[in-house]
Amino acid sequence: MNARFKDKEHLIRMGALFVGAFVLFLILRAVFVPKGFGAYGHYRAGALADNRDHALVFAGRRACEDCHSDVALVRKGSKHERIACEACHGAQSAHASADDPAAAKPKLPDAKTLCLVCHQDNVAKPKGFPQVNPKEHGDGGPCTSCHKPHHPEVS
């Protein structure tokens, strides 16, 4: 027995070295690999929460219609019914989430420029889409004198 293990010293030394290197590896790994890395894949799981953690700018149509149900009613059945409020009125999260929404009142868009954002004629627009050349269409007045933006059909 003793004869067999008389040269064990170098094995113990090597083993200690191996254990030391492994502990060092674990320490370095703990320092350099961020928390949650690899939970879902080769990335930091916390990055998902980071991407979620971003304030809203557009409140979403439902938030608008919670209060402005009267406007939703006016728009019913019109060609503009399916357009979200913020497509024309701009981002309104500041208004919708304000303690006093009336104080953070959004600016009324300028109809003359706003209508043409969509309805200015352009060769590349789909054929069926209603387009006008403002120089030829109407009498030069604001679009809103004939068309109501929330229900644009002229009756």
Binding site for other proteins (CB under 8 A): 4, 7, 11, 15, 18, 22, 26, 29-30, 33-58, 60-61, 82-84, 86-88, 90-91, 117-118, 120-126, 129
Shortest gap between Cβ of 6 and other proteins (angstroms)?
A: 10
**78 vs 124: CA distance, rounded Å:** 25
Tell me how long the chain is. Answer: 155
Closer residue to other proteins in complex, CB, 50/100 = 50
Closer residue to other proteins in complex, CB, 58/111 = 58
**Integer angstrom CA distances of residue 86 from 20, 55, 111, 149:** 62, 16, 14, 13
Phi, psi at 94, each rounded to 5°: -60, -40
Closer residue to other proteins in complex, CB, 43/146 = 43
Shortest gap between Cβ of 22 and other proteins (angstroms)?
A: 6
Q: Which amino acid, residue 51?
A: N
Shortest gap between Cβ of 106 and other proteins (angstroms)?
A: 13
**80 vs 67: CA distance, rounded Å:** 19
Closer residue to other proteins in complex, CB, 126/141 = 126
**146 vs 119: CA distance, rounded Å:** 15
Shortest gap between Cβ of 13 and other proteins (angstroms)?
A: 13
